[in-house]
Amino acid sequence: MFELCASILAANPENLARDVQDAETAGVDAFHIDLMDGCFVPAVSFDTRVVRAMRAMTKKPLDVHLMVDRPLNYVEELADLGVESISVHYEVPGGAEPALKAIRAAGLKAGLVLNPETSISAALPYLEQIDQLLLMTVHPGHGGQAYLSGSNEKITAARAMTQILGSSVVIQVDGGINLKTLPGAYKAGARSIVAGSAVFCGNIQKNVLRLQSEPDLE
């Protein structure tokens, strides 16, 4: 079993409420919201107003992925808006620790994100401070990219690290997940799966059903 987090970056912005309702009815477990500031990544996506709107649209958990230079500045507002989890990049200037501490102090689940080129060992000092380890399986900043080769090996290494240390940290993957790539990521040890295009492009009900009933995951 895995948790399916629908990344609303791929939803239709003109019909966000309808797409979110469809995904919820289809049975997604949570919604993943990418906040980009145009500095940590070149693109700009949603800001906290979209998080507020999402909170009014759904009771499902909201999982926020901060692709911003100053994650600490967002934590209090996101906690007040009622999100369940916030993930912070290892690569941010000054390091992720202050924001991770603030997220936990606010009573939320904390996630550490590793870019594709960052090695798994970077997460070692953080394992006690986090609930999920998000491995980027594409370069952050855009939806609809291809799953990077070598990602499954990285998930396997992360899973081995958490098992050896007796850590209950959940491994989450983000980027390029579809019916072809999901089985490999799952088998390697990912148990929280972020999917944008694979959920929102085309028929949402069918997409979610197919992802959740992927036979290779038995």
How far apart CA 69 and CA 91 sit, in angstroms, is: 9
What's the chain's length in residues?
A: 218
Candidate residues 65, 89, 154, 159; the one interacting with Zn ion per rule CB under 5 A: 65
Least distance between Zn ion and beta carbon 87 (Å): 8
Output 189 or 196, the one with its CB closest to ligand DX5.
196
Output 10 or 106, the one with its CB closest to ligand DX5.
10
Sign of CA dihedral 55, 185, 182, 217: negative
22 has catalytic annotation: no
Report, in this order, helix, strand and coil percent for the chain, each rounded to 5: 45, 20, 35
Q: Give the three-class secondary structure for 198.
A: helix
Query: Which residues are at the interface with ligand DX5 (CB under 6 A)?
Result: 7, 9-10, 32, 34, 65, 138, 140-145, 174-177, 194-198
34 has catalytic annotation: yes
Contact 86, 78 (CB under 8 A): yes
Least distance between ligand DX5 and beta carbon 165 (Å): 26
Residues in contact with Zn ion, counted by CB under 5 A, come to a total of 3
**63 interacts with Zn ion by CB under 5 A:** no
Please give the DSSP secondary-structure letter assigned to residue 127.
Answer: G
| Listed ranges 26-34, 35-43, 74-82, 96-104: which one lies at the site for Zn ion (CB under 5 A) | 26-34
**174 interacts with Zn ion by CB under 5 A:** yes
Binding mask 108-127 for Zn ion (x = CB under 5 A): --------------------
Please give the DSSP secondary-structure letter assigned to residue 117.
Answer: T
Least distance between ligand DX5 and beta carbon 177 (Å): 5
Alpha carbon separation from 38 to 9, 16, 22, 78 (Å, rounded): 15, 22, 30, 19
Q: Give the three-class secondary structure for 139.
A: coil
Query: Could you give the residue numbers annotated as active site?
Result: 34, 174
Please report, as ranges, the residues that interact with Zn ion according to CB under 5 A: 34, 65, 174
